[in-house]
Structure 1
């Protein structure tokens, strides 16, 4: 049963090892606070709590329970694991978690969660119907479940953005922000995969999984948009959803 869901972006610059104590500090703290609130929604569930991170990556499927992720490729000696907290000094096997899930697990650890995490990875090519189906399956888990949904908005908000300037980027991100604020699952489900790929919006499939999960849940939900900004020409959205 779904208890709550949180949406966060996954820029590696959230991790202080890459930017020092500054960097996007306000965005980092907004994300960590949102994840803390997510975990608080599951406090009464005890050992039965199922914490699931949803993100995009090159290989779809459920990550192995002992999988790890690393930010070494971005210049930070940071390793996270699904099973438990991994000390920075501990050698690890070959990391297999994609960036989206790696940052999601890092946020969970930063927020104080030391328990196991499950990860579900989809590719940017997942269709809206496939996302809705996966969301419905997540909502059908019998265990009390928290969803941490990782995804960036468009990466084409200005000339210096990874995708350069695209006039469609701001309307796209604004529509997503409005949908997250209003728990408008239909609007999220209607996001165009082709447009999202052109705008380098990695969050499209995870957001549609969230929409499918809440639709399948059947209860009324409420939402709160906690942040919508684009400090590096990339749309970063933070939102919290819970049953009304």
Structure 2
């Protein structure tokens, strides 16, 4: 199967490509990988990369600018139209976790909109939603690390009282890589949850404990039954994170 991994230089993409070719020890494009530079905001610049069977499409940004939602919407539309025209069979989209009945942040609302736009394509769409990914350079986890190191003098925001299920980056990659091998995931939305339900204060304390500065169960459990992954406990994921960071620095 020929697979396109968009945003291959991003937090997930730069780890996903080696996982897909089963050569995680290499850096840069492994054998059999073709690099294409394009921008879904610029029709005509990326279509050459769509001559594939399937694609991972994290079409969204963390831009602080007010127009990020419009840009994400346009990029998703351009991708959906071009991928459909190219006859692509399957796309996996990685979005953010959050209950619709709750007030979603502007970025999470944009993620949902991107899901809806991508779903208009003629390909099968698998949507995975994840909350905090525990790994180096993960925006959510780096925020937790900062709070853990500064908690004695930090006023924490209201969202720290909520529950969540952090996911180790290795587990997320395993689910992403395995999804294309399980047809039952096509056309579905799945939550990618870690094995533990914790509050943000507990997450902060336990993260700090690993650096010497210690200052309601999810209902969507279908994906682990479809894609066999042995979930990494939160403490183990945090323990590995400094090692993963060192490996990245050496690269």
TM-score, length basis structure 1:
0.28
Structure ID, larger Rg = 2
Higher helix proportion (structure 1 or 2): 2
